[in-house]
Structure 1
Amino acid sequence: MKKRSKLYSIGETSKLKNLSIKALRYYHKEKILMPAYINESTGYRYYSAEQFIHIDIIKAGRQLNVSIEEMRKIFSSANTEELLFFLEQKKKDIDAQINQLNSVKNKIDILRKRIDDSFNIMNDEDFKVTHFQERYLMTTPSTEGKESSDLLDYSTLDCLMENYEIKSIYESGTLYYIDETGHPTPTFVFELINKEDYFKNKDLFSILPTGNYLTLSYTNKNRNEKMLQLRNFIIGNKLHVIHCLELYLFTDIFDVNAFSCQLQVYIKEYN
């Protein structure tokens, strides 16, 4: 004869499993967790130790936003194979959520670093030679001079990034051609990408070479003054510009009328 399991009152069960008495009564009412025994005289509910794992499943299910209807179906079928399938599906859901959250966390980390770097860059107001490793970028032709050109250019670039499932690292800007007189003409808008995305499809991207770049930071308030300084410096020293890019900085995300940039100029004589 099978020995009868020890029974626990609803209060004891509540304390042992950290589930309120109100919740236990609710799951009884919904025919999800039926007490192992109910005293007919007092109406008191009692639960067996074997039911504790049922409570664990219920609690896990509720944390995963499993509906009462789904929960009722699982317990009414009383089929372990169905429960196993259900748990496996939920595990896949959890893995997907974890991946999504990790992706969001990575974006936050990248953006935080980008903002920190932007403030550090703006601390340097004078010309500076900075060494950069090889960088990869996606570009689209600049239509500067046309109405709403910036918005259209970056909208096009965003669509390309999305279509090819390329992760943003929040480093974008404009590429310039510098003529013999030092006058800059915008040629492309760009978004820097990580090496992983570059190697997925090299033909889509351009490369900025490793080397020393003449850098200069400025805001919208002193941009013209700084650009003139750069032009005079290049012409005065008879330097040959190979690449010139204006990188947008994140020093004030909320003021749409203000901007900060760093100009990076790859000069033949420095490399």
Structure 2
Amino acid sequence: MEKLSIGKMAKLNQTTIQALRLYDEMGILKPIEINEMTGYRYYDVRQSAKLDMIQYMKSTGMTLKEIKEVFDRQDLALLNEMLHQQLRDIKMQIKALMCREKAVKRMIDSYNRYLKAPEDGRITMEYIDDRKIYSRKLEVNFYEYGIEEYETILKALKKEMTEQGLGEYYYNAGTTITAGDFLRGFCVSNEIFVFVDQDCKSESFRILPVNMYACVYCDDFDKEKIYIERLRKFVEEMRLRICGDYICEVLTELPVTHAGKREMYLRLQVPVEFVKN
């Protein structure tokens, strides 16, 4: 039997001396001999098989404590259960990473839209694809209270989604005013919503249908009422027919605050149809 020094054993198995010392201290892999005078550790080359198994089990994400338990109990059923648990954990981590990837991509898209969006106050006509939203009806008109009430309502909506396991699917928020109130010039908030991923499936969602929209861009929540009136007058002057509720969409949230207030770039919009003579 050839005895290998701890250095040779580490080199042969592409590991470190520190790792072998740790395995010895934890009782996972002990040397066959320790020189009483020098303290040098010596290993049998045949112990490489166990070291391979340790390294393989580590590669699956098992902890050294779990590996020791498997070796101590010599229970294959235990190993099987641990590996299945690792698989479940890995799938959850993959899902979490995919959600983070989506969030990063959405943020990139959001800021790209902001950089290329029309300037504040510009009115446009835009064809907008259908969008999926999660919404709740409002019992109070936050236009009478200001941004503080909006923040409170939005937090409650997001909490509700998180409790339903839908927290990772939402992004930018929005509010609506009924078509009737918009036409009469009344700023009465009807509902608050958040946009959700198109691939998310739930009966709680509804679709904002594809349509042509009259839009105006706004860089301050406090300007919204003024811009709503500007948008309404534009619709009248262009002889357009409103065919749905008014929407205030948070196009981008900027990573800065002013006087503690959320900085947002808004796209105020209302679906319209061209009236044929």
Percent of pairs identical after alignment? 22
* 1:240 maps onto 2:241 in alignment: yes
Q: Which residue of 1 aligns with 2:176?
A: 175
Q: Which residue of 1 aligns with 2:215?
A: 215
Alignment of 1:198-209 (within 5 A): 199-201=201-203, 204-209=204-209
CA positional deviation for 1:40: 6.7
CA contact (8 A) 1:138 1:191 kept: yes
Residue among 63, 66, 77 paired with 1:66:
63
CA distance 1:264–1:180, change in 2 (3 Å)? closer
Q: Which residue of 2 aligns with 1:230?
A: 231
CA positional deviation for 1:230: 1.6
CA positional deviation for 1:125: 5.3
CA contact (8 A) 1:175 1:244 kept: yes
Q: Which residue of 2 aligns with 1:94?
A: 90
Residue identity opposite 2:137 in structure 1: P
Note the alpha carbon deviations across 1:182-230, whole angstroms, 9 max, x for none. Answer: 4443211111223333x431xx333211111122211117545533432
RMSD: 3.2
CA distance 1:185–1:53, change in 2 (3 Å)? farther
CA contact (8 A) 1:110 1:169 kept: no
- The ranges of structure 1 where at least 4 consecutive aligned residues each deviate by more than 6 angstroms after the TM superposition are none
Distance 2:120 2:44 in 1: 71
CA contact (8 A) 1:136 1:208 kept: yes
Alignment of 1:48-87 (within 5 A): 48-59=44-55, 60-61=57-58, 64=61, 66-68=63-65, 70-87=66-83
- SS of the residue corresponding to residue 195 of structure 1 reads coil
CA distance 1:211–1:248, change in 2 (3 Å)? same
Q: Which TM-score applies when normalising by structure 1? A: 0.79
Q: Which residue of 2 aligns with 1:161?
A: 161
CA contact (8 A) 2:120 2:219 kept: no
217-226 or 167-176, which deviates more: 217-226
Residue among 261, 264, 268 paired with 2:269:
264
Question: Unpaired segments of 5 or more residues in structure 2?
Answer: none
- SS of the residue corresponding to residue 189 of structure 2 reads strand
Note the alpha carbon deviations across 1:83-133, whole angstroms, 9 max, x for none. Answer: 444334333333332332223332222233223323332557522222122
Q: Which residue of 2 aligns with 1:187?
A: 190
- SS of the residue corresponding to residue 154 of structure 1 reads helix
CA contact (8 A) 1:137 1:191 kept: yes
Aligned length: 263
Q: Which TM-score applies when normalising by structure 2? A: 0.78
CA contact (8 A) 1:182 1:234 kept: no
* 1:118 maps onto 2:114 in alignment: yes
Distance 2:114 2:49 in 1: 53
